[in-house]
A and B are shown apart, each in its own frame.
Chain A
Amino acid sequence: MGLEKLVELRGIVKRFPGVIANDHVDFELRCGEVHALLGENGAGKTTLMNILYGLYQPDEGEIYIKGNRVRLRSPSDAIKLGIGMVHQNFKLVESHTVLENVILGLKEPGIRIDFEKHARKIGLLAERYGWRIDPEVKVWQLSAGEKQQVELLKILYRGADILILDEPTSVLTPQETKTLFEALRKMAAEGRGIIFITHKLGEVMEVSDRVTVMRRGRVVVTKKTSEVTKSELANYMIGRPVIFSLEKVEAKPGKVLMRLIDLEALSDKGAPALNKVSLEVRSGEILGIAGISGNGQVELAEVIVGLRKALRGKVIIDGLDVTNRSSKELIELGVAYIPPESVRWGVLPELRIVDNLFLKAYRYPPYSSNLILNWRRMFEKARKLIEEFDVITPSIFSKARSLSGGNIQRLVLARELSGLIGGAPRLIIAAYPTKGLDIGAAEFVHKLLLKHKSMGSGILFISEDLEELLMLSDRIAVMSGGRIVGILSREEASVEKLGLMMSEALPQAW
């Protein structure tokens, strides 16, 4: 491993109104290393990397690339210096081929593009990292893991030797993650430097050579990965010890609360999304739904809560056939829904926090009578709720968009689970409730779900994070291609088994 410094950031300061996102941050990346950048959401990791990628200008501080002091005014400056970044959301043209995506934006003299030459070279490059990608395939046909490989190819093809990956595993199956890590090790061995942004401790331990932990805009520590333990890292990251295993709440399943019988439904694009899904959720039970996203989980949740039409099959809640009832009726039956990507689907960023808290309850007494809203009641209750759910905000009149991701999720939880409409919810549909949250906020969600389980709610818990599923669920159903491919009890289930079920069922389903 070379010791040459590829990147050195010295005393980087970046202020946003009211916050210091980066407070005198020092960071270095050497040749041939995978350097994990660990921290909770809002710790300043992404801001720092956006500065290195030329998206933001630092207010103070110096940037050295390969020993030269530089000013990065835009990503194109960064790209010229050999820096490449894979964002969390892929930036690919879906209707174009892999080849077209990779060579898009290449600066090459002449007007004729030698597609064949490029295709050959891209094919070879992919092979080197053990990826099987046909350059002629259209990007929309690829899985999330393959799309990520295309993003990496794009960067490598431009000869980048400083790679930034922003939470690259959040969309991958365990198997795909393994492939990615192998490729990253190989790229590092070839002398590149890789910065790996993450908030998952397991990944840090598995793939990185060194790790830098950030908290509240500052670097807490930079260490060799071999010299730290997982719990030390967690300590650095959130500034207090974390409990890794939740106290398990014994399942005392009661009567069947919800029964799904042979449900079928279409996706937004009109393709079959659910294929004869049958499930049961008992009260006092958490049923986990595992699967790679986009295999029908969200559609399943939406059919249950009345936001998507069931073509065939039945949804029975508490013995009542509620198939294709309106979402209003389901809300009134005590069905709470924590939607995926709350930021987009669960809150209205331009409205106030109090409006968002009462997005459903505003029409029921005591918060309104006849057609008139009782704001005083709502204000009082809202103040209590933000305290109880620990939503950090200056006031209930602030706009929801001023909240961080974790706080938005707390707001959604407060609305859904605090029993604003006729007492605690009986059935909770939680779709990816911890996605993108940091450890502290995720822990809060977990505890809350367990609390409601012990209070006798039935919970359908959709997640991609297998460890989380194993930790919380009493039973885990695996979804693939819109079907339930198997249901395991907590005792039977393991990460390996679930991962295998998730991916193996794929080819025959599609």
Chain B
Amino acid sequence: MSLRIKTRFGILRIERRLSYTRMFSAAMSILSIALAFAVVGIILVIMGLDPIRAFSLIFGVYVKPPLLLESIKQSIPICLSALGLGIAFKMNFWNIGAEGQLYMGMIASTGIVLLHEYYGFFQGWMLLPLMLASSFILGGAWCLITGFLKAKLSVNEILPTLMLNYVAILVVDFLVHGPWRDPKGYGFPLSIEFPSYAKLTLIYGSSAYTGLLLSIAAAAAVFVLMEYTRPGFEIKVVGQSVNVARYAGISVSGVIMLGSFLSGGLAGVGGLSIVSGIIGRLRPGASPGYGYTAIIVASLAGLNPWLIVVTSIFFGGLLTAGGALQMNMGIPGSATQMIEAIIFLLILVGEFLKRYRLILERGVRD
């Protein structure tokens, strides 16, 4: 069956492709990315900038070691959140609250550091493991609020997850303006800087290495969870059909709560990677929207955990490139977000064209 649109050139038919090959799919994806850069190039020309120089800066990010490390660093929170979203999306749970869950993870991590620094709780080596656990739990709990509402009261998850983002961001604002403000920070809304043993700089002094390990370990964990465990199977079944899941004797509300907790928990760890990997302290606006970029990453990677790792690095690179463009060519930082959006849009178009074909029937009488 097909959809028809009358145009002045004839009738445009949109027909579902019954099947397509992997090659075709890959070619389409590459074509859409290439097209995205072409569009960006045109915009740069209109802005009176040299697109070749801009692109060499962008691609340089993935080649020059210090910039590559920075890109990987930027990719960690994106990757961890996207892995969590992958679980939620497989469950047909449209969690768009990774941003807020990141902030809750930051709060948990910072809280542990402050307990140590102010009150002398815990020994230094215990900090990172505790931060890991607490950021997972708090991020997970933040998402579980919505998961609970959905499981028990059938509340749609989209609005609560989104709105809880603002709550989490404002809680961080409150903390760093108030009780958690660095007493020696000249009144700036910042927490104290984390001690080195609370930072992700265990390997070669850059958090990129430890962070990447964290990403890969998380991807492996998600992969095993989804492919080889009972809860993973149940998450997939619930995501395909709640009715069939009930028929199979699966406790749908239990699965939704577990899945939402895991999803938020991973984003929470992403929060840890921001405060102890990128910034080294808590401050307002600590995430420039990693949680939203993660939505793009998770869907572009087709929810595949390994592809999520790679795709996050690509987007982490775009963020880094944004900084480089700003410094070297005076392109505003928001231009990076524009590039990100254009790529995403064109890939969506590409995905559409993978599934449907357009046929123009010329000179058809009607």
Q: Which residues of A contact B (CB under 8 A)?
A: 16-17, 55, 73-74, 305-307, 326-331, 337, 339, 345-348, 350-351, 355, 359-360, 362-363, 368, 371-373, 375
Contacts and interface: CB of A to CB of B under 8 A. Distances in A.
Interface string B137-151: 000000000000000
B340 to A, nearest CB: 29
A362 B230 contact: yes
B18 interface: yes
A329 B249 CA distance: 8
A109 to B, nearest CB: 19
B1 interface: yes
B345 to A, nearest CB: 26
Nearest to B250: A328
| Ranked 3 nearest A-B pairs via Cβ | A328-B249, A348-B240, A359-B248
B121 interface: no
Contact of B246 (A307, A350, A355): A307
A371 B229 contact: yes
B154 interface: no
Given A16-B18, A55-B1, A74-B4, A346 B230 contact: no
11 contacts: A306-B249, A328-B251, A337-B247, A345-B244, A346-B244, A347-B244, A348-B240, A360-B248, A362-B230, A372-B228, A372-B230
A17 B247 contact: no
Contact of B241 (A348, A360, A362, A363): A348
A247 to B, nearest CB: 32
B230 A351 contact: no
A346 B248 CA distance: 9
Contacts of A16: 18
B19 A17 contact: yes
A166 to B, nearest CB: 15
A73 B12 CA distance: 12
A338 to B, nearest CB: 11
Contacts of B251: 326, 328
A355 B243 CA distance: 16
Given A17-B19, A372-B229, A373-B228, A327 B246 contact: yes
A92 to B, nearest CB: 19
Contacts of B364: 73
Contacts of B1: 55
A361 to B, nearest CB: 10
Contacts, number: 62
B247 A371 contact: no
Nearest to A73: B364
B229 A373 contact: yes
Contact of B230 (A73, A305, A360, A363): A363
A255 B107 CA distance: 64
Contacts of A346: 244, 247
Given A74-B4, A326-B249, A328-B251, A350 B240 contact: yes
Q: From B11, B228, B247, name the one whose CB has the most chain A CB atoms within 10 angstroms.
A: B247
A371 B230 CA distance: 5
Contacts of A339: 247
Contact of B236 (A73, A328, A351, A360): A351
A73 B240 CA distance: 35
Interface string B180-209: 000000000000000000000000000000
B233 to A, nearest CB: 6
A305 B18 CA distance: 37
A282 B18 CA distance: 48
B333 interface: no
A328 B246 CA distance: 9
A411 to B, nearest CB: 13
Contacts of B228: 372-373, 375
Which interface residue of A328, A330, A346, A348 has the most chain B CB atoms within 10 A? A348
A433 B356 CA distance: 35
Contacts of A348: 237, 240-241, 244
B231 interface: yes
Contacts of A363: 230
A373 B244 contact: no
Interface in B1-29: 1, 4, 11, 18-19
A363 B11 CA distance: 53
B237 A359 contact: yes
A360 B244 CA distance: 10
Contacts of B250: 328
A376 to B, nearest CB: 11
Most buried by A among B4, B19, B241, B249: B249
B237 A17 contact: no
Contacts of A306: 249
A307 B230 contact: no
Contact of B231 (A305, A337, A371): A371
A368 B230 contact: yes
A355 B233 contact: yes
Q: Interface centre among A306, A373, A375, by most B CB within 10 Å?
A: A373
Contacts of A371: 229-231
A347 B241 CA distance: 9
Given A368-B230, A373-B230, A375-B228, A360 B240 contact: no
A347 B248 CA distance: 10
